[in-house]
Amino acid sequence: MFRRPSRYSSWKRKPKSRPWWLYALLIISLPIGLEFLMRGIVSVTGGANQWFGSETAAWERQVKAYQLGFADTSGKVYEDLPNQGSLRALRNPLMSYQLQPSQKSQFWTINAQGFRDSDPVPLQKPEGEMRIFVLGGGMAFGQLNSGDQATFAHQLEKLLNDRVNAQRTKSGDFQPPVLPYRADQVDQVLRRPPRIQERQYRVINAAVPGYASGNDLSRLMQQVANYNPDLVILLNSYEDLLLPSTQAGVDIPGLDQLLEGDRNPIGSQVQESVQGWFNQLYLVQGVQKFLLQSTPRAVASTAPLNLLTATSPIDNSLPSDGKELDQRVARYRNHLLQMTRWAKASQKRLLIGLQPEISTRQQSVLTPEEKAILEELGNNYAKRVQTAHPKVLAAAQQAAQGTANARVLDLHDLYADKQGQVFLSPTSVSDEANQVLAQEFFEAIVQNLAIEPRPFGS
């Protein structure tokens, strides 16, 4: 017999599903609540500076100060270009852009000629002055350094003038103008450091952030040569690896699209604003500092200071095939050839420095900040740079071999095993690292300008 279920029998009811918006509200409310809680805790326990330190804000100001902000030839700012910074650069038909003369910040001074120098440079060279000009990109300019006196150009000038003062006050410590009569005494005095010309040395920083060799060549021919330099230092090569072979030099990024009416997309502007707002959240800063043990400074250092490193990750800008790499290297060699021919024809000296970059650092000396920079450069970055360097070196040597007026300094591995933080970006180095760089150029210049003692009785 089957029993008929009673109409009063209880059945298990399915739970009523909650609306989707309730879950969304919970997801949104949780981080907002945690952010307010974090701000309350920070407020009653000493403030943001005590928790997160003022170093992050100071570093962001320094990064912003070194970012280029572009304007047309009349000085009107291109408002719609992204990532506009405080270092004003004017459009120039011959050099693509140049630094606006007579501007100053707490980190740098640009003089009336557009050079990084606190004093003007007269066209007419004063009597007794030995003039050395520095050309190149961000590293040569001293990007992210604490001030003008921290740049390698300023430190090189000090080293040279200190040598002159030492020669005058302690003449016996250096090789004499005339060799002694006895052979044993000759051997003895030649072991001393060489003597350089006793003149007033002035090192003028004419480098511009973002410049590649084509821009450097234009700056040399169109401006620097007019100042009658005795020696020119070129510190570059990295920017040429990032610049497509179809371009002769670096131009203002996004300018063509802007002039054609293609404004900076609203989505891109919104993304920049949201990212900046997100990084300022106390909750984000707290997670980074206390849980992830990361440094906001390392993240800030990879901001698009250099025009060519705005693509993320940067390894996408490096050539992935041999043909494109060879074309970029050939362009670099051709530009150096024109510079060496100028040096030979004008009887000027030219020092070509192949700049260091971060991938050469040994793992044992990498700081957490440098590791963070390397991680953001992409998985193929180090391999592509190391593959390219021998070709770049060979190109520079080929360009210089036709004249005794030019010399190549391979500085690529200069900081490979140096302790402490060296790199603040892929090619920007610390104040202390600039001392090492200045010493390398100082020793090369001393060899180049060394006075050979005359024989006895001459």
Q: Give percent of the chain above pLDDT 70.
A: 78
Q: Is the pLDDT of residue 63 over 60?
A: yes
pTM value?
0.82
Give the model's pLDDT for residue 303.
44
Give the model's pLDDT for residue 280.
55
Q: Is the pLDDT of residue 48 over 70?
A: no
Give the model's pLDDT for residue 304.
45
* Whether the Cβ atoms of residue 346 and residue 407 lie closer than 8 Å to each other: no
DSSP run (H or E) holding 353 = strand 349-354
Give CA angle at 431 (64, 230), nearest 5°.
Answer: 100
Cα 341 to its chain centre, rounded Å, is 28
Q: Is the pLDDT of residue 44 over 70?
A: no
151-169 average pLDDT score? 97
* Whether the Cβ atoms of residue 203 and residue 153 lie closer than 8 Å to each other: yes
Residue linked to tokens 């007794």: 128
Which amino acid is it at 352?
A: I
* Whether the Cβ atoms of residue 218 and residue 338 lie closer than 8 Å to each other: no
For the chain, which residues make up each domain, given as ranges?
A: 130-248+282-451
* Whether the Cβ atoms of residue 306 and residue 138 lie closer than 8 Å to each other: yes
Which residues are bridge partners to 129 per DSSP?
200
Confidence band (pLDDT; 50, 70, 90) for 82? confident
Q: Is the pLDDT of residue 288 over 90?
A: no
Give the model's pLDDT for residue 302.
42
> For helices 213-222 and 322-346, what crossing angle results, to 10°?
20
Lowest model confidence (mean pLDDT) among 142-151, 251-260, 280-289: 280-289
Q: Is the pLDDT of residue 138 over 70?
A: yes
Residue 415 is encoded by which pair of tokens? Answer: 């900081």
Give the model's pLDDT for residue 51.
54
Average pLDDT taken over every residue of the chain: 85
Which amino acid is it at 322?
A: G
Confidence band (pLDDT; 50, 70, 90) for 437? very high
- In angstroms, the CA 24 to CA 44 distance is 31
Phi, psi of 454 (to 5 degrees): -75, 150
Burial class (CB in 10 A: 0-12, 13-18, 19+), 82: middle
- C-alpha distances (whole Å) from 374 to each of 195, 235, 340, 367 are 42, 22, 34, 11
- In angstroms, the CA 144 to CA 306 distance is 11
Confidence band (pLDDT; 50, 70, 90) for 60? confident
Confidence band (pLDDT; 50, 70, 90) for 308? low
Lowest model confidence (mean pLDDT) among 154-158, 176-180, 286-290: 286-290
Segments in 102-150 forming alpha helices (H): 138-141
| Beta-carbon contacts of residue 300 (< 8 Å; ≥ 6 apart) | 56, 59, 60, 63
Residue bearing the bigger pLDDT, 83 or 234: 234
315-330 average pLDDT score? 94
- In angstroms, the CA 392 to CA 89 distance is 29
| Beta-carbon contacts of residue 148 (< 8 Å; ≥ 6 apart) | 108, 109, 116, 117, 118, 142, 154
Give the model's pLDDT for residue 50.
55
Give the model's pLDDT for residue 306.
54
- In angstroms, the CA 112 to CA 120 distance is 6
Q: Is the pLDDT of residue 3 over 60?
A: no
226-255 average pLDDT score? 93
| DSSP state at residue 77 | B
Q: Is the pLDDT of residue 170 over 60?
A: yes
Give the model's pLDDT for residue 299.
41
Nearest CA to 104 among 88, 120, 122?
Answer: 88
Give the model's pLDDT for residue 307.
53
Nearest CA to 438 among 158, 183, 188?
Answer: 158
314-323 average pLDDT score? 91
Confidence band (pLDDT; 50, 70, 90) for 290? low
Give the model's pLDDT for residue 274.
46
Q: Give percent of the chain above pLDDT 90.
A: 63
Give the model's pLDDT for residue 296.
46
Q: Is the pLDDT of residue 97 over 70?
A: yes
Give the model's pLDDT for residue 286.
60
Give the model's pLDDT for residue 266.
39
Lowest model confidence (mean pLDDT) among 173-182, 288-297, 375-384: 288-297
Give the model's pLDDT for residue 143.
93
pLDDT tens per residue across span 392-421:
999 999 999 989 999 999 999 999 999 999
Nearest CA to 213 among 83, 409, 392?
Answer: 392
Nearest CA to 304 among 212, 378, 210, 215?
Answer: 210
DSSP 369-406: HHHHHHHHT-TTHHHHHHHHHHHHHHHHHHHHTT-TTE
* Whether the Cβ atoms of residue 77 and residue 71 lie closer than 8 Å to each other: yes
> What's the maximum distance between 2 C-alpha atoms anywhere in the chain?
140
- What is the CATH code of the structural domain delimited by 130-248+282-451? 3.40.50.1110
Burial class (CB in 10 A: 0-12, 13-18, 19+), 44: exposed
Lowest model confidence (mean pLDDT) among 241-250, 256-265, 356-365: 256-265
